[in-house]
Amino acid sequence: MTVVRPRSGSFLLALDTATRQAVVAVGDGEGRVLATETWVAGHLHGERLLVSVLATLQRAGLGIGDVGAIVAGTGPGSFTGMRVGLATAKGLAFGLGVPVVGVPTAVALAAASAHRSGTVVLMQPAGPSGRYVTVLRLDADGVASIANGPSFVASDRDDAIPTGARAVAVDLPAAPRDASAAGGAALAGLAEALVRLGRERLASTGPDDLADLAPAYVTLPRGAATPVEGIRWSPDPR
């Protein structure tokens, strides 16, 4: 694990719990990653996330009071993982009195993949029998934007990848080799992409409102048959 010594400026704390690999990263005001920690999340988001935050800050030579902004990956991802990740990001932002900005995990993964232009289809597991599918466009500079989705599709559907698009498979062991390799590169670069994209969004559009920042839920939580007036977070930032 490489640690870059910080320089003066505002420090960013980035969190992502959308994949099976939880990510915590600390970056400086120029978007450089200072320290990272990743771990296979399983069902341990609640137990390990804050511990990982403090450990990562310590490796960067910082304390919790040095955090100037929070960057949160917004998915898509598992219901529990996303709830814990966003609740932690919002709680830290509220408690520290610092801005928070959401970055779609799909955009960060596409930007970090081995592909540099064209149409990319990100595929992630969705429960035991489905996938989250997000179609993204990468411009000539590798800047990613969502063209369609995320959406839930059955795992046996063959039409999820448009003709000419390149697949990025994350956490899907049975995916084709090229798609899995692109997914591995995307996961490896996720921390850097979150810090960079978070810094850019803070500079260009400003922070998100705590009450409005929510994960990209694609499927309903277990036990919910239908949404009732949509699925929304409480407007109370606590």
Domain that holds residue 30: 11-105+190-204
**Residues 94 and 119 placed together within one structural domain of the fold:** no
Q: Is residue 19 part of a domain?
A: yes
What's the CA angle centered on 85, arms 227 and 134, to 5 degrees? Answer: 60
Q: Is residue 3 part of a domain?
A: no
**Residues 142 and 95 placed together within one structural domain of the fold:** no
**Residues 150 and 77 placed together within one structural domain of the fold:** no
**Residues 166 and 123 placed together within one structural domain of the fold:** yes
From the list 73, 69, 87, the residue with the least C-alpha distance to 38 is: 73
Q: Is residue 156 part of a domain?
A: yes
Mean pLDDT for 46-66 is: 92
Distance CA 2, CA 36 (A): 8
Q: Is residue 4 part of a domain?
A: no
**Residues 33 and 96 placed together within one structural domain of the fold:** yes
**Residues 82 and 19 placed together within one structural domain of the fold:** yes
The proportion of the chain whose per-residue pLDDT surpasses 70, expressed as a percent, equals: 84
CATH number of residue 92's parent domain? 3.30.420.40
Give the total number of structural domains in the chain. Answer: 2
pTM, two decimal places: 0.85
Flag whether pLDDT at 233 surpasses 90.
no
Mean pLDDT for 8-24 is: 88
Per residue in 157-166, pLDDT (tens digit) is: 656 677 788 8
**Residues 31 and 48 placed together within one structural domain of the fold:** yes
Flag whether pLDDT at 6 surpasses 50.
no
**Residues 116 and 174 placed together within one structural domain of the fold:** yes
**Residues 22 and 116 placed together within one structural domain of the fold:** no
pLDDT band at 81 (very low <50, low <70, confident <90, very high): confident
Q: Is residue 63 part of a domain?
A: yes
**Residues 39 and 95 placed together within one structural domain of the fold:** yes
CATH number of residue 125's parent domain? 3.30.420
Flag whether pLDDT at 3 surpasses 70.
no
Flag whether pLDDT at 229 surpasses 80.
no
Per residue in 137-194, pLDDT (tens digit) is: 999 888 899 999 888 887 666 566 777 888 999 999 888 899 999 999 999 999 999 9
Catalogue the long-range contacts made by 128-132 (C-beta closer than 8 Å, 24 or more residues apart).
Answer: 129/154, 129/155, 130/154, 130/155, 130/219, 131/155, 131/160, 131/172, 132/76, 132/77, 132/218
Mean pLDDT of all residues in the chain?
85
**Residues 19 and 100 placed together within one structural domain of the fold:** yes
Q: Which of 1-15, 19-33, 175-189 has the lowest mean pLDDT?
A: 1-15
